[in-house]
Amino acid sequence: MTTQLNELNAYKCFDGWCRFFEHDATSTKSKMRFSVYLPPQHEGWQVPVLYWLSGLTCTEENFMIKAGAQRFAAEHGVMLVVPDTSPRGEGVHDEPERYDIGSGAGFYVNATRDPWAPNYRMYDYVVQELPAIIHEHFHALPNASGIFGHSMGGHGALMISLRNPGMFRSVSAFSPISAPSQVPWGQDAFREYLGNDEEAWAQYDTVSLLKKAEKPLPMLIDQGLSDEFLKNLLRVDLLEKVCKERGHQLTLNLHPRYGHSYYFVATFIGEHIAYHAERLRS
Ligand SMILES: N[C@@H](CCC(=O)N[C@@H](CS)C(=O)NCC(=O)O)C(=O)O
């Protein structure tokens, strides 16, 4: 099936192109937006694909504007793909007074509870629909995808890679919500989207998934120690603990004085893209 893409903007950037699109999405029954960075190598060759999942309040723009990732993607010849963080628009439910539920806060799950269930299907969008679109419309190298993200998107990247063994060759995260079932951000969202079924929550919870995972991908995680959300909402300590208990490979870099924002992401984005590129090109 061919998906019609409506191009909203295109910017020449580091010899490649940063492009923004909107399309009708079948999984979310809404318009969806995403951005791509096509490195210069994309002109003549298939290139590896690196999906970035953003955090709360973000759209498909924040990462492209703030992370400074294009320089490194151009250097390594990797395509970047950045979806919006939720469906939006006419007929899509929202709670405008909440920044952590609804628009900008899809949490990369398939909601099962009304009024969210018809549209809030970001898991299916990221796992199935978006990759199919990318392979249809761009020169994407088969079997050479990685995934990474920030905060809610760090949760999404880790959780999606754990639930789909073999789909990605590399995974990393900045400041991930490591155990959403155990912290208010995740609990509020999961209660709204999934109801009180804690079994359903566990299917979207990195720490729960790691308890049962056999040979997950090695994980690279960077975390600022002055991040205001670390202690009560991100809880990377719980992720570190389960990795130690189960012998999972984790490289956890802790950075004194760095916070939660894109100033932190921009500081270490080059290392993350190099990490993925090495695994995607081998
Ligand atoms: N309460 C905060 C939480 C939102 C937040 O920190 N969002 C992070 C991801 S969890 C972000 O990337 N915000 C957008 C940006 O900095 O461009 C706010 O609304 O400012």
Residue nearest ligand 1's atom 17 by CA: 62
Cα dihedral across residues 193, 197, 202, 205: positive or negative: positive
Q: How far is the centre of ligand 1, averaged over its atoms, from the C-alpha of 87 (Å)? A: 18
Cα dihedral across residues 130, 121, 34, 171: positive or negative: negative
pLDDT digits (tens, 9 = 90+) for 109-157: 999 999 999 999 999 999 999 999 999 999 999 999 999 999 999 999 9
Q: Which two tokens stand for residue 226?
A: 């002055």
Q: Rounded to the nearest 5 degrees, what angle is found at the Cα of 210, between the Cα atoms of 205 and 215?
A: 140
Q: State which ligand 1 atom lies nearest to the alpha carbon of 229.
A: 6
Cis check for the bond before 39: say yes or no (omega within 30 of 0).
no
Q: State which ligand 1 atom lies nearest to the alpha carbon of 55.
A: 9
Segment 195-202 long-range contacts (CB within 8 Å, at least 24 positions apart): 195/112, 195/113, 200/112
Q: Which two tokens stand for residue 262?
A: 């894109």
Burial class (CB in 10 A: 0-12, 13-18, 19+), 255: middle
Give the pLDDT of residue 1.
66
| Whether this model's pTM surpasses 0.80 | yes
pLDDT digits (tens, 9 = 90+) for 167-220: 999 999 999 999 999 999 999 999 999 999 989 999 999 999 999 999 999 999
Which domains are seen in the chain, by residue range?
6-281 (3.40.50.1820)
- Taking residues 3-26, what's their average pLDDT? 98
Whole-complex ipTM: 0.92
Q: How far is the centre of ligand 1, averaged over its atoms, from the C-alpha of 258 (Å)? A: 15
Burial class (CB in 10 A: 0-12, 13-18, 19+), 218: middle
Residues annotated catalytic, as ranges: 151, 227, 260
Q: Can you tell me the distance from the alpha carbon of 224 to that of 230, in angstroms, rounded to the nearest whole number? A: 8
Pocket of ligand 1 (CB under 6 A): 55-58, 62, 66, 99, 150-152, 260-262
Give the pLDDT of residue 282.
76
Q: What residues contact 65, with CB distance under 8 A and at least 6 apart?
A: none
Q: State which ligand 1 atom lies nearest to the alpha carbon of 175.
A: 10
Q: How far is the centre of ligand 1, averaged over its atoms, from the C-alpha of 123 (Å)? A: 21
